[in-house]
């Protein structure tokens, strides 16, 4: 394989190979696009595993916004992403890998020192009731307008006029706002916390939200076109081998705590 001068990662040495474009976003610790750990996110490493498993294609990696990645994966043949949540809406234009890995779904994230302030919004199961939270003008939050959350948080993200919720276009912006005290809470996944606690030297607390599935499954996904179906067929064949599947999952261990990694393995599905 050779390094691509203009794009973006590497290419197969095969002459005339079809091009697969991998979309990468600023979404640590899955994808890390800047700083000393750039390119070392577990999603970054998973793409490298996939590239090694699919040598018959020419692979380009393109760093884009989350909005652009979602658009390209739903409109451009040959575009793939290494981490995507399946949904009926996305299935209209995307094809998903048969194997997936499970992780805790998004939760409300607040400064650890302030976690007790949210007890009044919890139901008997300890879950945040969003209708109570949104009715309280003393709390201001932020949510990603580009990310797919699933469940009740996704329903909230789809509302453009939630008065005390700022809508941001990138994941790092959410934690920056929270660290700076400009918002009281954000919505993020528990597996994002450890990286950002180191990044901002601040403890965060994650609180479950009513109406959310306990876990979500992440798949490799491509645009559902002629090339995308060909690529996905090869991905499914490659990842059906247990050795390749373990290699694909192993980078997660570096960034999740051992309990989260063990839980992910226990909840891992073999098919969507």
pLDDT digits (tens, 9 = 90+) for 32-72: 999 999 999 999 999 999 999 999 999 999 999 999 999 99
Q: Would you place residue 15 in the very low, low, confident or very high pLDDT band (cuts 50, 70, 90)?
A: low
Which token pair is 156?
């909230």
Task: Given CATH 2.40.37.10, say whether it is the number of domain 106-207.
Answer: no
> What's the pLDDT tens digit per position in 226-270?
999 999 999 999 999 999 999 999 999 988 878 778 877 776 544
- Tell me the per-residue pLDDT of 170-203, one tens digit each, with 9 for 90 and over: 889 999 999 999 999 999 999 999 999 999 999 9
Looking at the DSSP assignment, which residues form a beta bridge with residue 141?
165, 185
Torsions phi, psi of 181, nearest 5? 80, 15
pTM beyond 0.95 = no
Long-range contacts, stretch 226-229, CB < 8 angstroms, 24+ apart: 226/77, 227/18, 227/20, 227/77, 227/78, 228/77, 228/78, 228/79, 228/80, 228/94, 228/95, 229/95
> What's residue 1's pLDDT?
34
Q: CB-based contacts of 224: which residues, under 8 Å, 6+ apart?
A: 93, 94, 95
Instruction: Write out the residue limits of the CATH 3.40.190.10 domain(s) in the chain.
Output: 2-102+215-267, 106-207
Residues 6+ apart with CB under 8 A from 91: none
Q: Which CATH superfamily is domain 2-102+215-267 in?
A: Periplasmic binding protein-like II (3.40.190.10)
Residue showing tokens 């993200």:
157
């Amino acid at each position: 394989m050779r390094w691509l001068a203009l794009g973006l990662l590497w290419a197969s040495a095969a002459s005339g190979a079809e091009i697969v474009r991998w979309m990468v976003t600023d979404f640590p610790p899955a994808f890390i696009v800047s700083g000393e750990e750039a390119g070392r996110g577990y999603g970054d490493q998973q793409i490298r595993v996939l590239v090694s498993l699919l040598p018959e294609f020419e692979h380009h990696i393109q760093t884009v916004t989350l909005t652009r990645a979602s658009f390209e994966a739903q409109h451009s043949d040959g575009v793939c992403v290494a981490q995507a949540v399946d949904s009926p809406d996305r299935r209209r234009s995307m094809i998903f890998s048969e194997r997936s890995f499970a992780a805790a779904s998004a939760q409300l994230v607040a400064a650890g020192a302030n976690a007790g302030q949210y007890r009044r919004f919890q139901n008997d199961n300890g879950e945040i009731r969003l209708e109570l939270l949104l009715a309280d003008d003393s709390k201001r939050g932020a949510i990603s307008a580009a990310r797919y959350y699933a469940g009740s948080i996704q329903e909230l993200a789809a509302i453009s006029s939630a008065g005390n919720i700022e809508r941001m276009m990138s994941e790092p912006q959410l934690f920056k706002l929270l660290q700076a005290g400009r918002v009281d809470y954000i919505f993020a996944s528990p597996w994002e916390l450890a990286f950002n606690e180191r990044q901002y030297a601040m403890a965060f607390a994650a609180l479950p939200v009513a109406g959310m599935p306990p876990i979500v499954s992440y798949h490799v996904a491509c645009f559902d076109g002629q090339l995308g179906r060909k690529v996905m067929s090869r991905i499914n064949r490659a990842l059906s081998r247990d050795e390749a599947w373990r290699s694909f999952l192993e980078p997660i261990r570096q960034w999740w705590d051992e309990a989260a990694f063990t839980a992910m393995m226990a909840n891992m599905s073999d098919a969507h």
